[in-house]
Amino acid sequence: MATPTTRYDFKEYCLRALGKPVIQINIDDDQIEDRLDEALKVYQQFHYDAVVKTYMNHEVTASTMRFASATTGSFTNNEIIVGATSNTYGEVVSTSNTTMIKFFTTTQSNTSVVVGDGYSDTAKRTFNDGEVVTGQNSGATGTVFTANATTNAISYGDMDNKWFSVDDSVIGITRVFLPYEGGGTSGADILFNPQAQFNMSLMSTFNQGSVIPYVMGRQYLQLMNDTFRGRPSIRWSRHMNRLFVDVNWQVQFEPGMWIVMEALRTIDPDTFTDVWGDRWLQRFAIALIKRQWGMNLSKFGGIDLPGGVTLDGVRILTEANQEVRDLEQEVKETYQEPVSFIVG
């Protein structure tokens, strides 16, 4: 038969390798699906052919506040709003309609910015349901919607969460390019955007036929940037699907900005069907299904069947356990990317 190109074909291939239809494979279909998922998880975690480096962009988002009814007056963009009972401050980003605004909470008192807790991703001040919110410049007021089982009063965005949501297919994030590295206005780079100035100053050297001064200058410029600004640390866990960037969010970011993440993303086998033809994945899935088969039969070990056949599930289980161990060692020693060096 041709190389499997679908999950169903892959499953049937594994069962035929174990003896189907000549031998009855005593395993439930749900158990088979579980073992296939387990095989894919190990494959994606350790095999270099299972992931690809990619760059993902993400727009910094604001929070959404819903009002119980139309506001009195109109809030203006960039004005400070304050809650009457919570004494929480926020900054208006945009007004979607008379019953909804985009905003983010701030540590502002009147127009003075206090950045003491701008790094926190745990302490979050909130506006209360049902309280009156007033714009300090426009004088507009609105009563915050009272949340119910289907609708939230406030839906928090990146600026208030202080983390970015990451797709479940991402298994590693190696680098983050912040807005100032992409030419953004917030947190502008040193020397008034030295990238542009430095490029202009070295244009004359290209007439001499050498790019060495340019390359050396770029390296020196990067050294200056790393020395005086440094790169923010990032925190990320695959099981949280959240990227934390350790910067002062109120200074570094604003809604509408973009960041770029350098990440490792798993290859979707339903889209790129060649995954099902990977030889190691096939052998590992067969071993896992065989182990499940042995576990199912192990409680019937030593039972004599008609025709002089003895049921030996323990032997099947023992063989499968050894095959799984050998394949796990093989993928780590042969197919896993080497550990990257830490330079610093």
In a domain, 271, yes or no: no
Asked if residue 255 and residue 222 are part of one domain, the reply reads yes
The residue among 241, 264, 287 that closes a domain is: 264
Nearest CA among 14, 216, 254 for reference residue 1: 14
Asked if residue 149 and residue 33 are part of one domain, the reply reads no
pTM of the model: 0.79
Asked if residue 77 and residue 56 are part of one domain, the reply reads no
In a domain, 341, yes or no: no
| Residues spanned by the domain of 303 | 7-47+278-335
Structure confidence by residue, pLDDT tens digits, 139-180? 999 999 999 999 999 999 999 999 999 999 999 998 898 875
Asked if residue 255 and residue 313 are part of one domain, the reply reads no
Domain count, the chain: 3
The residue among 139, 161, 183 that closes a domain is: 161
pLDDT (0 to 100) of residue 212: 79
Kindly list the distances between the CA atom of residue 57 and the CA atoms of 71, 167, 259, 344, in Å, as whole numbers in the listed order.
Answer: 35, 12, 6, 27
In a domain, 2, yes or no: no
Question: Which of the 8 DSSP states describes residue 208?
Answer: G
Asked if residue 135 and residue 86 are part of one domain, the reply reads yes
Nearest-Å Rg of the Cα atoms of the chain is 29
Nearest CA among 125, 68, 118 for reference residue 98: 68
- pLDDT of 336 higher than 70: yes
- pLDDT of 118 higher than 80: no
Nearest CA among 174, 172, 234, 173 for reference residue 46: 172
- pLDDT of 228 higher than 90: no
- pLDDT of 131 higher than 70: yes
Asked if residue 232 and residue 318 are part of one domain, the reply reads no
The residue among 161, 188, 223 that closes a domain is: 161
Q: Where are the alpha helices (DSSP H) in 57-211?
A: 158-161, 194-201
In a domain, 108, yes or no: yes
Asked if residue 175 and residue 155 are part of one domain, the reply reads no
